[in-house]
Chain A
Amino acid sequence: MEKRSTKASSNDPKHKHDPDDEDFYLNNDDDEYDDDEDDDNDYDDYMDDTDDLEYTSSNASKYDPTPSVEIFTSQNSTVTPNSSYASTSLKNLSQSTTNQPDLSKSLTKRNIELDEEFKYEVLSPDKIVQYMTECIADVNSVLELTPTITRTLLHHFKWDKEKLMERFYDGDQDRLFREAHIVSPFRPNTYKRTTSSQSTRSSRLKEFCCEICFMQYTEDNMSGLECGHKFCKPCWREYLTTKIMDEGMGQTISCAAHKCDILVDDTSVMTLLQDPIVKIKYQHLITNSFVECNRLMRWCPAPNCSNAIKAQYFDAQPVKCDCGHVFCFSCGELWHDPVKCKWLKKWIKKCDDDSETSNWIAANTKECPKCQVTIEKNGGCNHMICKNQACRSEFCWVCLGPWEPHGSSWYNCNRFNEDDAKKARDAQEKSRHALQRYLHYCNRYMNHHQSLKLEQKLTASIREKMEEMQQHNMSWIEVQFLRKAVEVLCQCRQTLMYTYAFAFYLKRNNHSIIFEDNQADLEIAVEKLSGYLEREITSDNAVETKQKVQDKYRYCEQRRKVLLDHVHEGYDKDYWEYQEDL
């Protein structure tokens, strides 16, 4: 039900990262229900759910795991359904209502003209669990297994239901269970644990030796999985705690016995563990692997936000979390139009190379060749196994090639190579020259980055000015242009910032020259607008100033659109050539 479109977000000048501003909207929205641009549904939703709003908006950004303690047994969620949608609807509503009528009309029009829609939902932690339970129940309605087995199977297929179904019904089921490290529930199990009600008095009194601590225990105190390996409960508890708390394992904890790869199930974990902190961490890890393995989901990267975004298909599109953070669904960075994820990642890595931390990262880490996660090697041999639950690729630390052929042809990553050393020296010469070029782009990128950071300060000072102007002869609605101007300014700065990352990798051709002209034009206009906002707002010549600022921000907006459209057109028509080797 949550509908948003690419352009609505990328052009929507109401984008905010500042949580304070959310309040700002909320406080003021009473004044402006005279909105006719917005979708009726949103409005209805808003009316239906008004009561829940306060609850959601205050809780949306906090991870409160308590309601999910029983996640794996119960499907009830304590959060009122739709409340998270409602709060976003409200934001949408209030955002568009604060637009000046002419502007919002043009925005809406643009959306209709330009867009296929990118649909997504914001899921709170409870919703994530609920969604996971739904996925499991959905599959289970066909497979009819226990939820924990289904969950493990689904995880094995990276939460691709179709793939699981296909393998389950077409392939060798025993093999499937073996691959997923589960004891097949269909196989008559010789080890089947005897429940205490079945066990006779004598066997209950019989003592067993726990192979972990070597202590004697009665059967009541021993426990094990379907595989039949039994250990005493205190050892199990300790084992699970170590795995969960120290090694951060959730999905992939196996039986404690040597060479037994049967995975622990949720019920066992929940009954064996006592410490609620460990239990919560376990659930958190399970949810985490659910989100991370799922291509159509991504955590909101904002600090202290525990929401996730669920999209209908995978694409580099802007998404806005309930916490107000707008980011790219594909890479998780701030929304970075016009530059593409791949180049942005390269660029950010390059920029970061300057700091001490990144020096350390460069010296001590490499990236997994498959999933690009950063890896530190802290000992052992060169046979690396990626710890990223969704990847687990095996590669050689030295050459980063797949591990497989190393058995026979690892000779290539042998010791230091003279030729390579010479090449490295030549490369250094070249890089001196490249550095000059890099600094040119980096300085400009950082400049906008820095200005963006000062956004909060500017917002505050503008708010003061707005108050001041209202003291004089202007109405509330008449001073709204100032906030709009700040938003346009920030948006333009963000775009400009990323144009430098884009331009850095661009090969020079006719279109790149047009692009640079557009960039320069926007930059000049933005600096002027910035100047107006910082200096020339006084209540004396309010009407004149308003006209000037409005003209300028409209011009900026227009230039920004021209620039982005040109880049997008270039993507469609292959104007852009890149310098891969930078």
Chain B
Amino acid sequence: MVSIATARIKREFKEVVTSDELTKCKIKLELLNDNFTELKGEIGGPPDTPYEGGTYQLEIKIPETYPFNPPKVRFLTKIWHPNISSVTGAICLDILKDQWAAAMTLRTVLLSLQALLATPEPDDPQDAVVANQYKTNNKIFVKTARHWTNIYAGSTLAAEPEFDSKVKQLIDMGFDNHKSRVALSSHLWNVEHAIESLYN
């Protein structure tokens, strides 16, 4: 017997792949195995946000009890966002937890995630450092997020050349590329503070 989960994923998959509306929103879905338990999602950064131009890969795992329990979703592409961990890609979104409803679909999940990129919820943060920056130093936050989009999500839009040079400065000191960027991002791009934190 085909389980409800499999039957549903099959139909949902078809729906997402064939929908013009979704292609317009830059939403894609890809199957990773034959038994419909692992998928790869892709969403485009929404326009007029620091994520514009970026493409974000998502890991989607379908539990056996789907759709009665939410799918497990995580960002594979690194992103600077208050509700998404800059380290693990874990997402803080109510519909992926207790607000999940059986009538929701992968399509709604992907659209919700896209909406989350457009409207962060800093009061319900996953990454406290990012959320703090978002609230207290929004300008730097926007720049940092754009920089990350550029580096990790393949955006070709305006980069932050000064950030690049600062990262390079740290790399020249022998630090790891990504670690340097995280340290700088977390310390408002203050090189001294970043170095201090890297040494600790």
Contact = CB atoms under 8 A, between A and B. Distances in A.
A190 to B, nearest CB: 20
A211 B103 contact: yes
Contacts of B103: 211-212, 229, 231, 256-258
A543 interface: no
A212 to B, nearest CB: 5
Contact of B90 (A259, A380, A413): A380
18 contacts: A212-B8, A213-B7, A214-B8, A214-B11, A235-B4, A238-B4, A238-B68, A239-B68, A239-B102, A246-B65, A258-B101, A259-B99, A259-B101, A380-B90, A381-B92, A382-B125, A410-B128, A414-B129
Interface string A357-395: 000000000000000000000011111010000000000
Contacts of B99: 258-259
A256 B101 contact: yes
Interface in B122-146: 123-126, 128-129, 131-132
B184 to A, nearest CB: 15
A413 B125 CA distance: 12
Given A257-B103, A380-B90, A407-B123, A414 B128 contact: yes
A252 to B, nearest CB: 10
Contact of B102 (A212, A398, A406, A407): A212
A242 B101 contact: no
Given A257-B103, A414-B129, A381 B124 contact: yes
B contact residues, range? 20 to 34
A381 B126 contact: yes
A434 interface: no
Contacts of B11: 214
A257 B101 contact: yes
Nearest to A242: B68
A25 B8 CA distance: 63
Contacts of B126: 380-381
Contacts of B92: 380-381, 383
Contacts of B131: 410
Nearest to A411: B132
Nearest to B123: A407
Given A380-B97, A413-B128, 17 more contacts: A213-B7, A214-B7, A235-B102, A242-B68, A242-B69, A243-B68, A256-B101, A259-B99, A379-B90, A380-B92, A381-B125, A382-B125, A406-B123, A410-B125, A410-B128, A410-B132, A415-B129
B6 to A, nearest CB: 11
Nearest to A418: B200
A51 B178 CA distance: 79
A564 to B, nearest CB: 48
B132 A414 contact: yes
The interface residues of chain B, by DSSP majority, are classed as: loop
A260 interface: yes
A57 B92 CA distance: 52
Contacts of A385: 98
6 residue pairs, one from A and one from B, having the closest CB atoms: A407-B123, A381-B92, A258-B101, A242-B68, A256-B102, A211-B103
B71 interface: no
Q: Which of A380, A398, A406 has the largest count of B CB atoms less than 10 A from its CB?
A: A380
A379 B125 CA distance: 13
Interface residues of A, number: 34
A261 to B, nearest CB: 10
Nearest to A214: B11
Interface string B59-80: 0000001011100000000000
Interface of A: 211-215, 229, 231, 234-235, 238-239, 242-243, 246, 256-260, 379-383, 385, 398, 406-408, 410-411, 413-415
Nearest to B67: A212
Q: Which of B4, B103, B129 has the largest count of A CB atoms less than 10 A from its CB?
A: B103
Interface of B: 4, 7-8, 11-12, 65, 67-69, 83, 90, 92, 95, 97-99, 101-104, 108, 123-126, 128-129, 131-132
Contacts of A243: 68
B57 to A, nearest CB: 20
A409 B101 CA distance: 31
Contacts of B101: 256-260
B59 to A, nearest CB: 14
A213 B65 contact: no
Nearest to A241: B68
A480 to B, nearest CB: 60
Contacts of B65: 242, 246
A258 B7 contact: no
A243 B65 CA distance: 10
Contacts of A382: 125, 128
Contacts of A381: 83, 92, 124-126
A238 B68 CA distance: 8
A21 B129 CA distance: 62
Nearest to B3: A238
A243 B83 CA distance: 27
A231 B132 contact: no
Contacts of A259: 99, 101
A433 B127 CA distance: 38
Contacts of B104: 258
Nearest to A387: B98
A556 B163 CA distance: 79
A38 to B, nearest CB: 55
A229 B103 CA distance: 10
Contacts of A239: 68, 102
Contacts of A256: 101-103
B15 to A, nearest CB: 9
A414 B127 CA distance: 10
A211 B12 CA distance: 11
B93 to A, nearest CB: 9
B4 A213 contact: yes
Contacts of B67: 212
Q: Which of B4, B99, B102 has the largest count of A CB atoms less than 10 A from its CB?
A: B102
